[in-house]
Amino acid sequence: MAGEFSTIGLIGKYGESTMGETLVHISEELAKYDCSVMLEDETASKISNHKLPTASLEKIGNECDLAIIVGGDGTLLNAARNLIDYNVPILGINLGRLGFLVDISPDEIGRRFEELFDGKYEVEHRIMLNMTVEHQDGRISKNDAFNDVVVHKWDVARMIETETFINGKFLNTMRADGLIVSTPTGSTAYALSGGGPILQPDLDALVLVPICPHTMSFRPIVIDGESKIELHVKDSTDKAQVTCDGQTNFSLVSGDKVIIERKSRVIRLIHPCKHDHYEILRAKLRWGENF
């Protein structure tokens, strides 16, 4: 019997050539445990020859006990932003290269599902960010981020100038290509490329990483996860933009204010038993290999 996970939503990567085959395989495996399965609308529109009932992300959030994400880390990031307010646990099936977040390969689905429905799995809690832009013309823009919120330049040839405040206290004025505000999850993404530290994923902390700062003494800073970060856009000569998880963008101009805070809800990731984040780090970052 399905037990704890009786109604399951399936969300796939759009355009992935093997998506349909993998989703059918997953639904057949889930049928062994008497699960009700819903296929997300947009995913369903991209594949054929399925006989699964379809549902919106909202319905999956409201009615499912588990969301299974099929694709890569980017697919899971998008799903996490859409499902965070519904408190649905997420499990990732990896169709691409080894992922930090999607850690079950298609050829082990049968064995991993058997463990899942036997209660043999691990739950990991990850923090997310809420981003609000208070535009100087009075408009408000909002979005969430699982990896990072990045304020960055629009014009490749120019820097932007921002003032940064943490919990209302002035940190600095920065001229740079931009600033990354990252969760521990995002510390192995853009923040790592920018020279930031790798944070243990379940920490309640944030890291600020400057992108090519004009002042070389401005180094990455790790702060408490409950901190409120404000970035004031000061440069009036060029447009800037703010990006959430590299997937959603909002334009910025001089006078705009970007406010970044931890969301009150957390993402619950379901992992196989004996999940080892450090093993994934070694494989992804190729630690210990001879070049």
Q: Among residues 252, 251, 254, which one has the least CA distance to residue 237?
A: 254
* C-alpha distances in Å from residue 116, one per residue of 2, 33, 37: 10, 11, 16
pLDDT at 284: 85
* C-alpha distances in Å from residue 226, one per residue of 126, 129, 208, 230: 14, 10, 14, 13
Q: Among residues 14, 65, 64, 19, which one has the least CA distance to residue 41?
A: 14
pLDDT at 239: 77
Q: Among residues 130, 107, 144, 103, which one has the least CA distance to residue 279?
A: 103
Distance CA 136, CA 146 (A): 26
Please state the pTM of the whole predicted model: 0.93
Q: Which positions ≥6 away from 95 have C-beta within 8 Å? A: 13, 16, 18, 19, 22, 70, 71, 72, 102, 106
- For the segment(s) 7-126+266-285, the CATH number from 3.50.30.10, 3.40.50.10330, 2.40.10.10, 3.40.50.300 is 3.40.50.10330
Distance CA 114, CA 102 (A): 18
β-pair type (66-71, 54-55) = unpaired
Exposure string over 221-243, b if 16+ CB within 10 A, otherwise e: bbeeeebebbbbbebeebbbbbb
Which position among 73, 103, 177, 245 bears the catalytic label? 73
Token pair, residue 183, equals: 């969760």
Distance CA 63, CA 59 (A): 6
Mean pLDDT by 10 residues, the chain (291 residues): 83 79 92 95 85 94 97 94 96 84 92 96 97 96 98 82 97 94 97 96 97 91 98 79 96 95 97 91 84 63
pLDDT at 103: 87
> What are the extents of the domains in the chain?
7-126+266-285, 129-262
pLDDT at 1: 45
Task: Give kind and range of the element (H or E) at residue 205.
Answer: strand 205-211
pLDDT at 215: 86
CATH (residue range 129-262): 2.60.200.30
Distance CA 162, CA 157 (A): 17
Would residue 73 show up in a list of annotated catalytic residues for this protein?
yes
pLDDT at 232: 96
Distance CA 135, CA 214 (A): 26
DSSP-assigned states of every residue in 15-62: T-TTHHHHHHHHHHHHHTTT-EEEEEHHHHHT--S----EE-HHHHHH
Sequence letter at residue 196: G
